[in-house]
């Protein structure tokens, strides 16, 4: 895939004087402004530099290339989410395992849905072009198929079968994609193979109405 070594993605240098710290700050806010005003497709070094009131060359003093700037901003946001989770974890310490699991899920959802519009636009860059639409369609299709299958199970007693089918598709699709995307090690792939079917079974069994018999 020819990725640049990760060292090249890091900022080129840290600011040594107040003037330069202000420049870096201006570049960052300019990036977000351009992103929100013009979208990812129009986020160019020239536009960011103009908005920040610096020359293009200045940007290249701090970041070796455009990707490094964007990567640095995303990484910062990822760390914010991670810290949010650490706080949540502290509050869950010592509670029962099931409650911990529930709490972590809720915390992650809260963290991600509260992310600023700007950073969601940054992630959107990752989707770049309309893969989202294609994936959405497949997800919809799978939900229908899964729901139909669940309906025909002899022990089927679901309060909201469509939601269970949807959740099943999202759990499967999301976790597989995440492991493959993060260049998952062989060990992690093996874990996924072992645990994902278990998790799906447990979820579906739990979603059955308790009065089943």
91 binds, among DNA, a copy of itself, none (CB under 5 to 8 A by kind): none
30 binds, among a copy of itself, DNA, none (CB under 5 to 8 A by kind): none
In a 3-state reduction of DSSP, which class is residue 208? strand
Cβ at position 50, least distance to a copy of itself in Å: 19
Whether 105 contacts 67, CB under 8 Å: no
Whether 118 contacts 70, CB under 8 Å: no
209 binds, among DNA, a copy of itself, none (CB under 5 to 8 A by kind): none
CA angle centred on 174, ends 172 and 176, rounded to 5° = 65
Site residues for a copy of itself, 72-101, by CB under 8 A, read 74-75, 78-79, 81-82, 85-86, 89, 92-101
**Given the complex with DNA, which of 20 and 33 has the nearer CB atom?**
20
> What are the angstrom distances between the C-alpha of 15 and each of 7, 18, 157?
18, 8, 62
Q: Which of 33, 65, 74, 142 binds DNA (CB under 7 A)?
A: 65
> What is the C-alpha separation between 152 and 161, in angstroms, rounded?
11
Q: Which of 10, 36, 39, 56 binds DNA (CB under 7 A)?
A: 56
Q: Which of 46, 105, 131, 170 binds DNA (CB under 7 A)?
A: 46
Q: What is the number of other CB atoms lying within 10 angstroms of the CB of residue 124?
A: 13
The residue count for binding DNA (CB under 7 A) is 25
**Dihedral-angle region of residue 55 (phi above 0 means left; psi in -120 to 50 means alpha; beta otherwise):** beta
Q: Is residue 13 near a copy of itself by the rule CB under 8 A?
A: no
Q: Which of 29, 114, 177, 209 binds a copy of itself (CB under 8 A)?
A: 177
129: phi then psi, degrees, rounded to nearest 5: -115, 180
Name the one range near a copy of itself by CB under 8 A: 15-23, 44-52, 54-62, 198-206. 198-206
Q: Is residue 33 near DNA by the rule CB under 7 A?
A: no
Q: Hey, what are 120's tokens?
A: 């969601």
> What is the C-alpha separation between 73 and 110, in angstroms, rounded?
20
Chain residues binding DNA by CB under 7 A are 13, 15-17, 19-20, 22-23, 42-46, 53-58, 60-61, 64-67
């Amino acid at each position: 895939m020819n990725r640049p070594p990760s060292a090249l993605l890091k900022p080129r240098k840290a600011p040594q004087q107040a003037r330069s710290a202000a420049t870096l700050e201006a570049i960052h806010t300019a990036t977000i402004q351009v992103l929100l005003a013009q979208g990812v497709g129009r986020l160019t070094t020239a536009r960011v530099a103009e908005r920040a009131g610096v020359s293009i060359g200045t940007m290249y003093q701090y970041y070796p290339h455009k990707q490094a700037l964007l990567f640095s901003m995303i990484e910062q946001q990822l760390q914010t989410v991670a810290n949010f989770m650490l706080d949540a974890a502290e509050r869950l310490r010592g509670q029962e395992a099931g409650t911990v699991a529930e709490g972590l899920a809720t915390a992650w959802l809260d963290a991600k849905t509260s992310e600023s519009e700007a950073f969601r636009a940054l992630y959107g860059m990752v989707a770049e072009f309309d893969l989202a639409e294609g994936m959405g369609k497949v997800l919809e299709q799978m939900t229908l198929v899964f729901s139909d299958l669940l309906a025909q199970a002899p022990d089927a007693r679901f309060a909201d079968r469509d939601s269970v089918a949807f959740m099943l598709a999202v759990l499967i699709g999301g976790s597989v994609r995440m492991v493959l995307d993060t260049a998952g090690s062989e060990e992690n792939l093996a874990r996924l193979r072992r645990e994902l079917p278990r998790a799906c079974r447990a979820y579906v069994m739990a979603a059955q109405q308790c009065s089943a018999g």
